[in-house]
Chain A
């Protein structure tokens, strides 16, 4: 099982690189869907493992919720938002894509550097799964910084959430069920609100460019 998890954590990290290299908003959503599916798969494998060893099935429920929410419902919501805005492709970046990818690599190296001697996580050998998932959080944050359009910000936020979830999952073998449920409901609310905000920003400024929000400063 350990091998499966290693492979999956690398694949999840890879999906965030793919996300970073994308320009089309439609493919942001697709990549996010794939990433969520991978996370659901991870949760499923761990859930089966825990069910067979300890008899708990809450991780499996979490897995089902992930599939329902992150793989189906939220991408569906985002697609609806996508059809309503006129910007389909990100054109101007603060940094160009090769540099972004390079920075992402640096982030992974930095996470390795930072986490490799943290007590409690590394049992004998360096826990690469945690390194990968912490990198995912930072890459999500960096994705939010690098994109100017509001949908990019939402996707970045969701990637951060994915990263937090998978970090908690891999570091603790499943958090208490109630905590997971709480986080999911928070995230769902956040995405709903953000989706509405995208419409509003689009209406008010004729664009979803976050730089327009500067005008709100007092």
Chain B
């Protein structure tokens, strides 16, 4: 054990790591007492996360050097725990720590429904280890250690996904998740091997000049597939909408909020910082994947009625938006346009942070709904706003944020992404121009669909009348759960209202990587921000827009009240067309709400409907009508199913022809292998 060159944020970081370990072991030691174990472990996690926040804030805003800590060097080659803490790591550690603080506060209340029923000690052990493994992924300094941390993260999250393992669909989701994540990891491993074979070192901060051009291209593709699988981009997204609903909600918040962002970290660390972007097509392919993920992700989200699956598809969409920013940045950097590159990467990093906040919050909200009503199906909810007003308000905040509506934070980063796309339209570059214009359109489409989707989510589940008995008995959730979500909502609002402060931090991170600072080009002051600023002359200030909206509303009230004269207000139930009484079946359902879009996007969904009418004496008064609509997952049907079929038939053949069970056949294989090796020895 040796710890060298510790600066103050290094000490803070080590303290955070130690505390996460402590939390994990405290959970195991106190395994007998569920309540104590949960509270102690989560409180330690919160303290550790505060250390993480302190370390990363110091690193981002004050310290300009890179901290290198060598914790453990072994005599086994390449096995050493080396930590390098630079601004990029610090930024992602900040995302992680902020989310962990909120989620851990939330967990104190949320996990209470496990008391006496499940192994809370084990859950908290896995929870703390999961956070620790993500932290190590973000700060590891050599590829081997990175790989270990990455695998630990995958495994621990697998165990968390299958934590409620008595349901068959959870087991299936876990299996799919572990298969997909390992396919991705295999690609990363190959890329690391290529890296080592040319440079002779696994050091991530080393130089990649020794790697020839074609190997760099291969490495880029491998990184894109490997990290893309973790990020859940289309078409390798299929694990995401299954694994997120299967996991407990606080874990889904972490998985969606920060685990899939480790892939973004990986792309930045390996492609931008290690390989350096040299080819325009790298950026173009990331941009295309981003567009496809953004549009299709939200399109599939619209068709989902399971609240957590819906949110999982929105993660696909938001990863798409982040990748659009990243793609534009890479294109610009490849063309040596450093300012645009910095702007686009700032946009995508800011969106990463914002998505961590609001998507984490939304999953926590989904957890609150599940905690109160024990269902995830929004068709069974309704009228929750009367039962759980605080949760409703917080979920509304997050929904507005994810729909990019002023004055929340989603708007800021999407606006910057739009600006980067507009700025990318440079005279003379026909292909990229068309792509940029198309991506602006795609981003706008995704934004509109997302808004429709969250109108559905919020409207169906919180407004109207309750659709099931579970909702009737719902109560407001424990106060810690609302505190956890409340902090996230406040941060969403803070970034939305005072964006310059946060952009300043992101800008420091980006200028460390790209070498150009954009903050001076952004107009506006501390409170009222105008962007962007000088490039296109467009200026927008969320605070002013908010003020304008409030002004218009006040003006309208003024006009109606004062100028319109007096009128009598009568409070009465909704007109029920002469029926006996209104009931919950008469309101808009989620299926009905999404019907117009299902028709418009028929080519994508391929909807099938079945109507079963049970006739009675008169055909005008049937006893029951059943309406069932199903949509098709085209990627699973036309991409994965054929591959699986081929694999299955191949393995069956192998089982019967190669793996015969005869010892002699196996000996012959060994014999042939030895002969071939000896031949190789002779001939090569």
Contacts and interface: CB of A to CB of B under 8 A. Distances in A.
Interface of A: 94, 110-111, 113-115, 117-118, 138, 141-142, 144-145, 148, 153, 210-211, 213-217
B671 A141 contact: yes
A138 B672 CA distance: 10
Q: Which of B660, B667, B668 has the most CB of A within 10 A?
A: B667
B661 A217 contact: yes
Given A111-B678, A114-B679, A114-B681, A141 B667 contact: yes
Contact of B661 (A138, A145, A148, A213): A213
B670 A141 contact: yes
Given A141-B671, A144-B667, A117 B682 contact: yes
Nearest to A117: B682
Given A144-B667, A213-B662, 5 more contacts: A94-B664, A115-B678, A141-B674, A142-B671, A211-B662
B654 to A, nearest CB: 13
Q: Which of A114, A148, A153, A210 has the most CB of B within 10 A?
A: A114
Nearest to B679: A114
Contacts of B668: 145
Contact of B682 (A114, A138, A214, A216): A114
B681 A214 contact: no
A141 to B, nearest CB: 5
A110 B664 contact: no
Contacts of A145: 664, 667-668, 671
A113 B682 CA distance: 7
B667 A138 contact: no
Interface size class of B (residues with CB under 8 A): 10 to 19
B675 interface: yes
B655 to A, nearest CB: 9
A58 B660 CA distance: 45
Contacts of A94: 664
Interface string B472-490: 0000000000000000000
Contacts, number: 46
A123 B358 CA distance: 73
In the A-B complex, the 3 residue pairs with the smallest Cβ-Cβ separation, listed nearest first, are A217-B661, A114-B678, A214-B661
Contacts of A217: 659-661
Contacts of A111: 678
Tell me whether chain A's interface is mostly helix, strand or loop, or mixed: helix
Contacts of A210: 662-664
Contacts of A141: 667, 670-671, 674
A118 B667 contact: no
A213 B663 CA distance: 8
Contacts of A213: 661-663
B674 A138 contact: yes
A148 B671 CA distance: 16
Nearest to B681: A114
A12 to B, nearest CB: 19
Contacts of B662: 210-211, 213-214
Contacts of B667: 141, 144-145
Contacts of B659: 217
A111 B659 CA distance: 28
A138 B681 CA distance: 16
Contacts of B682: 113-115, 117-118
Contacts of A211: 662, 664
15 contacts: A110-B678, A111-B678, A114-B678, A114-B679, A138-B671, A141-B674, A144-B667, A148-B664, A210-B662, A211-B662, A211-B664, A213-B662, A213-B663, A214-B662, A217-B659
B109 to A, nearest CB: 48
Interface in B556-614: none
A117 B682 CA distance: 7
Contacts of A113: 682
A179 to B, nearest CB: 21
A19 B393 CA distance: 87
A216 B663 CA distance: 11
Nearest to A213: B663
Contacts of A114: 678-679, 681-682
Contacts of B675: 110, 138
Nearest to A134: B678
B669 to A, nearest CB: 10
Contact of A153 (B663, B670, B679, B681): B663
Nearest to B680: A114
A54 to B, nearest CB: 30
B4 to A, nearest CB: 37
A118 B681 contact: yes
A145 B674 CA distance: 14
B211 to A, nearest CB: 30
Interface in B299-348: none
Contacts of A214: 660-662
Contacts of B674: 138, 141
A175 B511 CA distance: 60
Nearest to B656: A217
Interface in B634-674: 659-664, 667-668, 670-671, 674
A142 B667 CA distance: 8
Contacts of A215: 661
Nearest to A118: B681
A111 B674 CA distance: 11
A153 B670 CA distance: 14
A13 to B, nearest CB: 17
A148 B667 CA distance: 12
Nearest to A156: B667
A99 to B, nearest CB: 15
B179 to A, nearest CB: 21
Contacts of B678: 110-111, 114-115
B678 to A, nearest CB: 4
B664 to A, nearest CB: 6
A209 to B, nearest CB: 10
A216 to B, nearest CB: 7
A95 to B, nearest CB: 12
Contacts of B679: 114
A148 B662 CA distance: 10
A167 to B, nearest CB: 13
A110 B681 CA distance: 12
A43 to B, nearest CB: 25
A111 B678 CA distance: 8
A153 B667 CA distance: 10
A138 B670 CA distance: 10
B670 to A, nearest CB: 7
Nearest to B668: A145
B621 to A, nearest CB: 59
B547 to A, nearest CB: 72
A144 B671 CA distance: 10
B131 to A, nearest CB: 40
Nearest to B677: A114
Contacts of B670: 141
A88 to B, nearest CB: 21
Contacts of B681: 114-115, 118
Interface string B519-530: 000000000000
B651 to A, nearest CB: 13
Contacts of A216: 661
B369 to A, nearest CB: 45
A210 B670 CA distance: 17
Q: Which of B659, B660, B663, B671 has the most CB of A within 10 A?
A: B663
A94 B675 CA distance: 20
A75 to B, nearest CB: 23
B204 to A, nearest CB: 37
Contacts of A115: 678, 681-682
